Amino acid sequence: MLQVVFTEFNDNSIKKFERIDFVEAVKQTMILEQKYREEKKMISGSFYLIESENDSTALYTGTFKFGSRYAPNLYIHIKKKLEEIKMNRQQQRDRIELIAKMEDGLPEIYKKEEVIENAHLLNLNVSRISRLKKWQRRSIYALTGLLGLGLIGTIFYMVMIVAQYDVAYSKEQNKVAAQNKQLDIYEQGLLGKHDVLLDYFKATKTNLSDEEKKIYANLLLKDKKYKELVSLYNNDSGYIATMISKQGDINALRAFHKDFPSNESTFDLLYADKKYKELLAVKDVDMTVKRSEMKTYALMKTGKIEEANAELANNNNKDLKAKITQYEKLSKELKEFNEAIKVAKDSKKAKEVKALSKKKTDLEKQFNAI
């Protein structure tokens, strides 16, 4: 679940340094944006976006300028800012993933972008015109006259195009019919007729939205149509492997890897098979947070504690941190037991060797279970 924390904001409506559920934050920012628009004021609010499961990693950091009319709410603000940034392929994937997370559970009313005509004139203070110089006032009045003539021209144009009403109406009817057909296809798909939906997606795959693409990919994955799935994402088998891994279906990943191997699927399968040394030898892997956790664990299990702690900084997993601490503790205790057993053997103290060996076995069970 996404949460928002405002760090700098001089308005008591939103408390600073307090976690707010993302949907509630979007709702509150929409109310405040409207308030400052009506008051013709602007105020800035710095914030960062996090996941409740991950306490320290900011998914997005920014500043919302309330009253600026840049965006009606926090969701639209972040989405527009992300779309303005030039990104590489990996960053584009991260952007799509973040937008999907934001849209999860967000009511449709908050997803609608607004169109503000003549936005540059909205903050015009008419009373200031009277204080302008004579030539400046004349310029404004002349411009007003031109706008009036433009309006007359627009009306004349509207009269002229009325004759084309039948053509426009016919086009709208065709558009509505196409939309109804699309809705019917989706309805059949939801009722279990996946072939109908698959045929539709296959015929229109070059014009699919990101959400439609995800639905299509899941259907292809379910039917094990891996060739079509890879083709859908421009033969990026590593990306598909990541998609399957996120779903947690290791059998599906094995089946996909058989025909479309990649560094990503190799890495994930080695982790599933507990082949940690081989896993660490795999290079050029798309390192997601989940894979960073896998790498941290593999480093720990192979005794590379210093490297495991360094990798831990990339995922901030508290459970892994606790495991590394326990691993170090038990590793030290096992070493001490080995030394004690050696001393007991040298002293030919059979009973003591037996007792120490039993304790060591119990400790090894705990060690191996980490």
Residue 96 shares a structural domain with residue 150? no
Instruction: At 360, list the tokens.
Output: 């060591």
Domain count, the chain: 3
Q: How far apart are CA 132 and CA 269, in angstroms?
A: 74
Instruction: Examine residue 314 and state whether it is found in any structural domain, yes or no.
Output: no
Instruction: Examine residue 287 and state whether it is found in any structural domain, yes or no.
Output: no
Owning domain of residue 11? 2-110
Asked if 103 and 83 touch (Cβ cutoff 8 Å), the reply is no
pTM for the full predicted model: 0.51
Which of left, alpha, beta for 19 (phi over 0: left; psi -120 to 50: alpha)? beta
Write down which residue in 83, 110, 137 finishes a domain.
110
Instruction: At 61, list the tokens.
Output: 């950091």
Residue 33 shares a structural domain with residue 84? yes
Instruction: Examine residue 13 and state whether it is found in any structural domain, yes or no.
Output: yes
Nearest-10 Cα torsion for 326, 327, 332, 335? 140
Residue 105 shares a structural domain with residue 147? no
Q: How far apart are CA 22 and CA 4, in angstroms?
A: 6
Residue 14 shares a structural domain with residue 97? yes
* Burial classification of residue 350, based on how many CB atoms lie within 10 Å of its CB (0-12 exposed, 13-18 middle, 19 or more buried): exposed
Asked if 77 and 106 touch (Cβ cutoff 8 Å), the reply is no
| Residue 244 neighbours by CB distance under 10 Å | 25
Q: How far apart are CA 4 and CA 58, in angstroms?
A: 10
The residue whose two tokens read 């504690």 is 305
Residues whose CB falls within 8 Å of the CB of residue 296, separated by 6 or more in sequence, listed in order: 308, 311, 312, 314, 315, 317, 320, 324
Q: How far apart are CA 52 and CA 34, in angstroms?
A: 28
Instruction: Examine residue 119 and state whether it is found in any structural domain, yes or no.
Output: no
Instruction: Examine residue 236 and state whether it is found in any structural domain, yes or no.
Output: no
Residue 136 shares a structural domain with residue 106? no
Nearest C-alpha neighbor of 78 from the set 107, 54, 101, 51: 101
Nearest C-alpha neighbor of 46 from the set 83, 16, 3, 72: 16
Instruction: Examine residue 70 and state whether it is found in any structural domain, yes or no.
Output: yes
Residue 9 shares a structural domain with residue 81? yes
Q: How far apart are CA 205 and CA 207, in angstroms?
A: 5
DSSP state, 110?
A: G
CB-based burial, 203-220: b 16+ in 10 Å, e otherwise? eeeeebeeebeeebbebb
Nearest C-alpha neighbor of 76 from the set 34, 112, 101: 112
Instruction: Examine residue 91 and state whether it is found in any structural domain, yes or no.
Output: yes
Nearest C-alpha neighbor of 276 from the set 301, 258, 251, 312: 301
Q: How far apart are CA 298 and CA 259, in angstroms?
A: 26
Nearest-10 Cα torsion for 166, 167, 172, 177? 100
Question: Position 76: which residue type?
Answer: I
**Per-block mean pLDDT, blocks of 10 residues, the chain (370 long):** 88 87 93 92 91 74 92 93 82 83 88 64 44 46 49 50 49 51 54 66 72 81 88 90 88 94 96 96 92 95 95 91 94 90 86 88 90
Q: How far apart are CA 19 and CA 27, in angstroms?
A: 14
Asked if 50 and 2 touch (Cβ cutoff 8 Å), the reply is yes
Instruction: Examine residue 343 and state whether it is found in any structural domain, yes or no.
Output: yes
Identify the three-state secondary structure at position 261. coil
Residue 100 shares a structural domain with residue 140? no
Sign of the four-CA dihedral 195, 200, 206, 208: negative
DSSP state, 46?
A: E
Sheet holding 60-66, edge to edge: 20-21, 2-9, 43-51, 60-66
